[in-house]
Amino acid sequence: MRTSQFLIATLKENPSDAEVISHQLMLRAGLIRKLASGLYTWLPLGLRVLRKVEQVVREEMDAAGAQEVSMPIVQPAELWQESGRWEQYGPELLRIQDRQGRDFCLGPTHEEVITDLVRNEIKSYKQLPINLYQIQTKVRDEIRPRFGIMRSREFLMKDAYSFHVGQASLEETYLAMHRAYTNIFTRLGLDFRPVIADTGSIGGSASHEFHVLAGSGEDDIAFSDSSDYAANVEMAEAVAPGAAPAPTADMEEVATPDVKSIEDVAQFLQRDPATTVKTLVVDGEEEGALVALVLRGDHQLNAIKAEKLPGVATPLSMADEAKVRKLCGAGFGSLGPVGLPMEVIVDRSAAALADFCCGANRDDAHLVGVNWQRDVPLGRVEDLRDVVEGDPSPDGQGTLLIRRGIEVGHIFQLGTKYSEAMQAQVLDENGKNVTMTMGCYGIGVSRVVAAAIEQNHDDSGIIWPAAMAPFQLAIVPLNMHKSEAVAQCAEELYSALREAGVDVLMDDRNERPGVKFADMELVGIPHRLVIGDRALADGKLEYKGRRDADSQLVEREACVDFLLERLRG
């Protein structure tokens, strides 16, 4: 391709409304343009990248035995009413009426449509398992579209749905999808982690998210420094430390006038927050009951873990302070486990403390030198907290690191949530009707493009991983319109490289060298070959990899082989 025949729409200025680097660079490099809030047009350069991602996804899905289909974007309300989601889904679901006044929605996802298709087409266990996918534009009316295509209202998604008789078959396909996703993101050259995820409101039994690690991610990912273990911070288990050491101090009460937060208490008493505990009172499962959750002062309560515990209300809700004061004789900042008139659940790390500090259940007073069993019974011990960096990895290998991640994929054992609601059944080996088990598997295809940029860029612009680059190589002839030698050499190499199957962009614009260099770096072409009169007179050309600090001279005669070698690299 020649830039003279290809829309290079780079911008010099940083767009003012782009908050994250990928959004800025996608606009500046001319990959996308905004049509309206959360709606973007993909320009030719951007679309080339998107199509490359799409193709890798397709190849790996096909290789994993999935079959591609294409379902409508517009979906009838009836199916959503059957599954119950017509009521449950909020205003993110864009609802429309056709000219006859019938209700439809624009598909944010296709569980209902595929379940309807499969219950009509598949009658016997012999036809299972089946895994159907599509790569399609989805619509979600985000309340606050932002970060460009990272959280847009239209986006390209690969969504797959598998159907099974029984859990074992589901788990087999789930594993195949886990491998396919790993292949996809590996081939795309991304630093990613498959992380154990919360199954959240979709329901179901097991779930992994695939996260591209990048500082701008919206999720915190905890992963081992020496194994494959990775989980959303909210899902990572905080493993139990050893037992508490023996007591060395006596329990005593100290005055802490107007000192309430852990930070203030620690500072006031000049001790490490890690040697204090905080006591949070939440509503119990039974009407009117209260439960105390005790954590180390430097740890954060993990609401997801807490609300899964028997005895704790779901969703988790903090108790009413007046009610607590009436019962315990103190406000939130002065509570402690000693003599607390309610069930006390102690986090594993808090349970390993000795000589700790806690509220005295009297305002303006704390206890120090407190020890479990000696001063207060240690009842239930549970995992109540978010993991922190340095915690041991739950798989027993190495310690945890925590990084930000951008979710680009999600695989999910759905179970029978949809198939039961929509009566999707087949005949089993015994001729008996059984409800199919389902899995679903998504990749945010357009989001992958943004995530790749968040992970791979520098001050000059995008640095595409090889598999995603819109072009593999840029030929930049200098003064091509004046120097016949340069023009001839450029044309020869352009032909030779194209014949060798290389995706070349030839920058034949009549622009200053500086403009061409800046543009090619901004749009992130991985390899660059500069053809200039001076070096050419010595039979040499200038090569620079996008991540290289400096360029190097290459013999013109050896140039094609040199480049092919680099491209294989």
**Residues lying near a copy of itself in the complex (CB under 8 A):** 5-7, 9, 33, 35-36, 39-44, 47, 50, 65, 67-76, 91-92, 94, 96, 98-99, 104, 106, 113, 116-117, 120-121, 130, 132, 137, 139, 141, 143, 153-154
Cβ closest to a copy of itself, residue 1 vs residue 303: 1
d(CA 33, CA 159): 25
| Residue type (1 letter), 218 | E
Cβ closest to a copy of itself, residue 99 vs residue 326: 99
Inter-helix orientation angle 44-63/445-455, to 10° = 110
Closest CA to 147 of 52, 40, 48: 40
CB of 75 to a copy of itself, least distance (A): 7
Q: What is the dihedral of CA 281, 282, 287, 289, to 10 degrees?
A: -30
d(CA 560, CA 541): 11
Cβ closest to a copy of itself, residue 76 vs residue 284: 76
Q: Is 208 helix (H, G, I), strand (E, B) or coil?
A: strand
CB of 416 to a copy of itself, least distance (A): 22
Neighbours of 37 (CB within 10 A): 12
CB of 146 to a copy of itself, least distance (A): 15
CB of 201 to a copy of itself, least distance (A): 19
CB of 58 to a copy of itself, least distance (A): 10
- The DSSP annotation for 168-185 comes to HHHHHHHHHHHHHHHHHH
Cβ closest to a copy of itself, residue 101 vs residue 315: 101
- The DSSP annotation for 356-411 comes to EEEE-SSTTEEEEEE-BTTTB---EEE--B---TTSBPTTSSSBEEEEEEEEEEEE
Give the position of tokens 């081939």: 187
Cβ closest to a copy of itself, residue 45 vs residue 236: 45
Cβ closest to a copy of itself, residue 397 vs residue 423: 423
CB of 470 to a copy of itself, least distance (A): 12
CB of 67 to a copy of itself, least distance (A): 4
Cβ closest to a copy of itself, residue 76 vs residue 392: 76
Cβ closest to a copy of itself, residue 33 vs residue 380: 33
Cβ closest to a copy of itself, residue 117 vs residue 309: 117
DSSP structure class, residue 243: P
Overall size of the chain counted in residues: 569
Using CB atoms within 10 Å of the CB of residue 178, give its burial: 0 to 12 exposed, 13 to 18 middle, 19+ buried: middle
DSSP structure class, residue 244: P
CB of 261 to a copy of itself, least distance (A): 38
Backbone torsion region of residue 84, taken as left when φ is above 0, otherwise alpha when ψ lies between -120 and 50, otherwise beta: left
* Cα–Cα distances in angstroms (integers) from residue 375 to residues 315, 330, 372, 380, in the given order: 32, 19, 6, 16
CB of 51 to a copy of itself, least distance (A): 8
CB of 459 to a copy of itself, least distance (A): 25
Cβ closest to a copy of itself, residue 72 vs residue 245: 72
Cis omega before residue 44 (within 30°)?
no
DSSP structure class, residue 83: H
Backbone angles phi, psi at 238, to 5 degrees: -90, 110
Cβ closest to a copy of itself, residue 95 vs residue 404: 95
CB of 127 to a copy of itself, least distance (A): 8
Q: Is 284 helix (H, G, I), strand (E, B) or coil?
A: strand
Six-digit token pair at 307?
């609300």
* Cα–Cα distances in angstroms (integers) from residue 101 to residues 50, 96, 107, 493, in the given order: 36, 9, 18, 61
Six-digit token pair at 363?
């305002």
Cβ closest to a copy of itself, residue 371 vs residue 472: 472
* Cα–Cα distances in angstroms (integers) from residue 474 to residues 10, 52, 557, in the given order: 16, 18, 18
Cβ closest to a copy of itself, residue 133 vs residue 229: 133
